Each structure stands twice: as C-alpha cells, then as structure tokens.
Amino acid sequence: MTLVAGVDSSTKSTKVVIVESDDGKIVASASARHPATAPPRSEQDPMTWWRALSKAWEACGPVTRSVKAISIAAQQHGLVALDGNGEAVHPAKLWNDSESAPQAEWLTQRLGADEWAKRCGSVLGPSFTITKLAWLRETRPDAFGAIRRVLLPHEWLTWQLLGCPAQAVGDRGDASGTGWWSPSSGEVDEELLALAGGQREWLPEILGPNDVAGHAATMIRGAVVGPGTGDNMGAALALGLTPGDLAISFGTSGTVFASSSTPTSDRQGEVAGFADAAGRFLPLVCTLNATKVTEWAVGLTGGKANDLDRIGALAPPGANGVVLVPYLDGERTPLLPTATGSLSGLRTSTTIADIVRASVEGVICGLLAGVDALERCDVDTNGRILAVGGGARSTLYRQVLADLSTREIVTPDPAVDRVAVGAAAQAAAVLSGATPDSVGAAWARSERVVVVTEPRIDTSLSSEIRSRYREAAHGVLTHLAH
C-alpha cells in the first residue's frame, strides 16, 4: 500500500488528507484553523499557514511517516511578496481583499477590458494578484522596493516544504489567476506584469501537470513533492471533471466551474478564463457570498448553521414572494465591491422561514447566473452537475439547486475535502507517472457515497423564482448606478 498526501490551505484553515494511491481511500485526515479575515482588508501572515499545516500534519499521527508523495493546493490569487531573506515585506493579501479595487480599475482602463481578457483570459477584479501588487507599489512603496520574490499561497507553502530553494515553482492552474500569466500561451506576459511594477525574476518557474517539484526538505524529508495548484483546480481533479461537466461549490464564497478543452476569453468579465491542473482549462465564475449568507439568515432566528434545513423547510419554494439578493459583503460577479444585500417582497405575513428560504434561493440564483455566463462563452455544460462544498451537505441547498436548474444534481460525499483529495491525486500522479486527471477520475469512480437529487417543482415556478431574482438584482445595479 502506497500512501500519498494532499493539502488544502484556505482562508480559514489548513487540511491534510493521507490516502491510498491506488483507490484514493482516505486513511487519515486532520485540520488546523488560522485567523480568518474579511473584506475590504483581508490579510494574513503566511507563517500562520505553515504552522497550521505542521499542526494538521502532526495530528494525522504515525501514518505520516509512510507518505511517499505530497502536493499542496491553496486559495488562489493571494499575494505573498518576499524580500531577499525570504521574509514577507507585507502581510499576504488574500483573494477576497478588495482594497485594490482602484488599482483594478486603473489597470483595466490602461488597456481596456477586451485586451485583458484576450491576454490573460480574464477581466481584472480586485481579487487578481496583479492588482494587489499594484496596490502595494502605490500605498507601501518602501515594502514594494524590498521585493525580491512574489509567490501565490500554494507556491509559498511548496517553497517552504522544499526548504526555500533558490528557484520556487508553481503550476499553470494557479498562475492563471495572477493577471500576468496567459492560459492561451502558457507564458508570463511581461508587459502586463510591468504595469504593476513587477519583474520576471521575482516569479516562480511554472511546472507541467506531471512534473516533480523536488523532494521535501522539511516535515516529511525525502518525499516527492508535486507542483501543487489552486483550490478550484484541486477540486476539479478530485471530482474527475471532464469537458461538459459542471461543478457548483457552496463554501463561504460560491464557485461555478467547468472543464473545457479550449481557453475562454470573456470580455464582460464574468467568467475567469483559468487553466486547470491537468493540461486543459477551467472557466470559472466566483461569487463572494454563499454559505455565509445563509448562516447569517439562520442566525437571525437564533439558530445555528445546522438548523438551515429545518427552518427553510417551513417556507414553500419561492419563499412566498420574498427575494434576497445576497451581496452582503459586496460582490465579485457581478463586480460590485461596494454593493450591499437587498431584501424585497416583504409583507406582514412574511415569516423568518421565508427569509431563510429566500437566502438559499438568492445564493443559488446568483450561481446559476454564473452558469448562464459560462454558456454565453460557449462552454459545454450539458454533462453532469456536481454539488460540492460545505453547503452541499444541506438537503435544502441540493433540492433548491435541482429545482432552479431543472436538472439532476449529483452530490459526492460532502464530508470529503475535494481540494485536499485533488492535491493528493496530483501527488499520486507525479509519483507513478500517470496523469493527474486520470488518477482523480479513477478515485471519483470508486467513491461509494453519492446522493442524486431530482427537481420537484415545475419549470414555470422555477422560471418565476429566477425571474424575480433577476429583477431584484437589476434593482441593486440601478441603485448603484445612481
């Protein structure tokens, strides 16, 4: 039995899974939390990630000594800027930090949205790493002047694992979220990088999906280390996504992503044209507000997150006309960093259960608008729809998704950390010489816990609910425009 490990380092915690390489069976897992932050300023000391990883690793017990390979997946977009001694010149700015919104607007205006979409696959928002680098140059010039290395979170953790070598490494999937790496060409666009004051020598070498990053010099000395990747790319590997498949992830934020054989370039800025960790592409739409919105709504009742299904079931589909537009912390898609939420359709007969139900429907309507955006970019979404993430544990989330999409929903075991398992699949691939997507697909096929949810409401009611949401969301846009 050969064991491999995968890591998922997110905004709130770092998780480790240790699995059997032949079938992906998890034999040990553990997690350790680190301080979470929220927009507009969302920053962390990178060393908190390393300490959390070390703690979670130790918590997995003696089995860690048998691990032969490891890969790290982590939150995308974060800026880790280091000086010549490898020390952070400023706390790492995370993907959901929105302080660089002015820099995102300035950079976009320099070239135009069309040119950015063409050259880096995406129209910039404040989440993209290049905007954070521009923010650091403009607001912290002394710190910027000390930069000698720029890494993403997974690249920084991999660099630590390798013993901080002279050459850091990364992968195409995570690199495609920087704003200076082109999924189409597979190269750094140095002209884009220079707009933020960046230099090519600061960046890591981008490895291919099957390349070995090196061997661990810390924590698990001698183990083979994979190139790592971004969190969404890791999840795609674990799900065994193939072109046509669609994944909808319900976490603190929400994501909709699909496997594609060709790159995308969305001039409207809704679809991020990412690469994946398997040599294909991963067009993705991200919303800032998902399960944190429904947790907030349940909290209004005095309940806890696990009361969602019970309370939401007290209201009918459509929430008796109540509509919640869930832009509680601004929004990324559509790009509205200063927006707030909107609650409409209230009557004296409205119950708190209506509001809870409307919060779920609002989150899902926002994500289904992301599916519409993918289809507008000619992305095939006619395969499976897979629901993943913490919200997929909720019967209400799964049923509302089936009802409003009018399609069957497949939910693999929501207790499994897909990002960490995807990283483990990459580790198994670089160890064996197989491709990461073939390993991930084989593991996904062997999974036993799968829930299938069918639509229960007619299509006319589904259309009515989505139409009311679109009208309310348009009202928020109109209000902001004035």
Catalytic site positions: 231
Reported as half-sphere exposure (CB side, CA atoms, 13 A), residue 175 has a value of: 27
Q: Report the distance separating Cα 150 and Cα 83, nearest Å.
A: 9
452 backbone φψ class: left, alpha, beta (φ>0; ψ -120 to 50): beta
Nearest-angstrom CA–CA distance, 386 and 294: 20
Q: Judge whether 117 and 283 are in contact, CB under 8 Å.
A: no
**∠ at Cα 138 (133, 144), nearest 5°?**
55
Strand 450-453, strand 409-412: pairing: antiparallel
Peptide bond into 334 cis (omega under 30): yes
CB 222 within 8 A of CB 361: no
> Rounded distance, CA 429 to CA 432, Å?
5
Q: How many CB atoms lie within 10 A of CB 76?
A: 28
Residue where the block lists tokens 């189409």: 184
Instruction: Decide: 166 and 104 in contact? Cβ < 8 Å.
Output: no
**What amino acid is encoded at 189 in this protein?**
D
